[in-house]
Amino acid sequence: PTSESFKYHSTCIPKMPFTTQLRTISRPFIQQSHLFKQTSIRMSSTNQYGQGASHATGQSAVPNKVQEAAPKGLEESLPESVHPTGSNPNSQSTSKTHALNDGEDSVVPKKIQEIVPESVERGKSSPQLSPQHWRQTHTQSIMASATAADIQGPSHANPEGLNTSASTQFPPINIGTRNSVLAQIQARAVERNLKDAYPDRTFNICPVVVQGDRDKITPLQQLSQGENAKSLWTGELESMLESGDLDIIVHCLKDMPTQLPDHLEIGAILEREDPRDALLISPRLPKETTLATLPQGATIGTSSVRRAATLRKLYPHLKFADLRGNVGTRLAKLDAEDSPYSAIILAAAGLKRMGLDNRITQYLSSTSGGMLHAVGQGALGIEIRKNDKAMKDIMSGIRCERTTRACSAERALLRTLEGGCSVPIGVETSWRGGKGLAIGTQPAKDYDKHGNAVEEEEPDIDDQELVLSAMVVSVDGKEFVEYQAARKVRTAEEAEEMGQEVAKVLIEKGADKILEKINVEKQWAAKKQLEELRAKAASS
């Protein structure tokens, strides 16, 4: 079928195969004459998967609010500059396939090709449906689980729409997530862990557009003012969780407030991906370029106050400009012929999950580039209701104890400093003892110079010390305080106590004065922006 025959109506997205850590978005089903007819996914004229098969895993029970809040299509864009995994990012590739939203062809890595069917094209959206039509469609639809064999083989879906497997004995678990491709990949990571632990359960992925995704222009430092700072990426999702429309929410832990609503809590934290930041350079520069070798006056694009402040301290010869948007948008802006950016900085974890780590020029850490990462960076947190005992029991089956203890220390430090995700507070946690130091909270993994994980025998966590480094720096990079502590922490509660104590030492060193000054500057900037908007409205 052509792309026009593919209509993206699905709110909670059926399951698709994983490639390494990639979690993909699958094809939906369309109700036709009381049957469900599956359309095949056509990725490009030179890369066609062929017709796939569906395996019904039970009826979808998607709440009405989820159906109505979910977007009609995907907003994440994949730029022309995204290079196939393993290719030289400075070379030209001729293999093109459609991306998502901005109307341009894109060179898409193989992993990314599995994310989006060609028909979910840039600039196209699903037809407008009434709430009644949404409810009728989604409460009757089949949630299919596709595999690589399914994609290559003939379709043998059950047209009656019901499956008598054990999974129908339990209610489906609705997993809330932000709408971006990366967020849905992360939700798939959680879904796979849950499915491995509980194969008899059915899971629905429910994407929702949140406040922070609606405004892609305003700098984060100004957007995250007052109460907005606590709910910029989570508010809508948490409201739906509290009301029962969602059962769990998947968050990138660095975007998750340290103070949660009274009736909600973190149910589990999964094993952490690489927590470091990553430098990506313009194709116009030599591929071996690092922060230290960027030319005088080179501009780095970043929306992170922490990254810009830290680099101003370490590399005063560089300039910084605000850069908003999803990963694809940022890469497109970096690679444009008239781009003002010489480099951009993104989280390594997101790039790896999307299969774009081939674009990374330098991994940044305390020993490489002098950069500490954000609190919770690289980790996925699952938010649940406090009174949901059944869900607490389920979460215990996928929790990573090492990551939980490390991130508990980081989040307690941030909470004590009363900082949000948009203040310049950097941390780095590692485990010491046994077979040595490994960055990223996973002592069984160290990273070589290319960022690849090197497996080692895992020592007992209770025999190791947690090392917590932290730094608070002023926006201009001229003032900073830092501190490092190490101790054994045998529970998440002990890790929280450690984080609180490190924060108190930082306060004694003057961190509170730096943060107070930053808050005043943020309020002044927000007030100035409001005045400019009012003046513009008055003149028009």
Taking only the tens place, the pLDDT of each residue in 519-528 is: 777 777 667 7
**Given the residues 150, 247, 255, 446, the one annotated as active site:** 255
pLDDT of residue 450: 62
385 near 264, Cβ under 8 Å? yes
**pLDDT over threshold 90, residue 296:** yes
Which listed CATH number (3.30.160.40, 3.20.20.70, 1.20.1560.10, 3.40.50.300) goes with 400-514?
3.30.160.40
Nearest to 422 by CA among 258, 243, 289, 186: 258
Average pLDDT of the residues in 315-323? 93
- Which of 140-144, 475-479, 505-509 bottoms out in mean pLDDT, i.e. has the lowest? 140-144
Average pLDDT of the residues in 98-126? 36
CB neighbours of 187 closer than 8 A, spacing ≥ 6? 23, 175, 177, 205, 207, 250
Average pLDDT of the residues in 232-245? 88
Element (DSSP H or E) covering residue 249: strand 248-252
Q: Give the domain ranges of the chain.
A: 3-74+116-235, 400-514
Q: How confident is the model at residue 164 (pLDDT cuts 50, 70, 90)?
A: very low
- What's the CA gap between 28 and 239, in Å, rounded? 27
Q: How confident is the model at residue 216 (pLDDT cuts 50, 70, 90)?
A: low
> Each residue of 183-194: pLDDT tens digit?
999 999 999 999
> Each residue of 428-473: pLDDT tens digit?
999 998 654 554 444 445 666 566 666 666 789 999 999 999 999 9
**pLDDT over threshold 50, residue 50:** no
pLDDT of residue 183: 94
Average pLDDT, the chain: 72
pLDDT of residue 404: 98
Q: How confident is the model at residue 63 (pLDDT cuts 50, 70, 90)?
A: low
pLDDT of residue 420: 59
Average pLDDT of the residues in 67-76? 44
Gyration radius of the chain over CA positions = 23
Q: How confident is the model at residue 383 (pLDDT cuts 50, 70, 90)?
A: very high
**pLDDT over threshold 50, residue 327:** yes
15 near 69, Cβ under 8 Å? no
pLDDT of residue 540: 74
410 near 499, Cβ under 8 Å? yes
- 448 catalytic, yes or no? no
**pLDDT over threshold 70, residue 162:** no
177 near 205, Cβ under 8 Å? yes
36 near 141, Cβ under 8 Å? yes
pLDDT of residue 234: 82
Nearest to 519 by CA among 211, 215, 221, 212: 221
- What's the CA gap between 36 and 55, in Å, rounded? 12
pLDDT of residue 207: 94
- What's the CA gap between 248 and 186, in Å, rounded? 13
Q: What percent of the chain has pLDDT over 90?
A: 49
The more confident residue out of 210 and 200 is 200
CB neighbours of 349 closer than 8 A, spacing ≥ 6? 272, 273, 274, 275, 377, 378
pLDDT of residue 6: 31
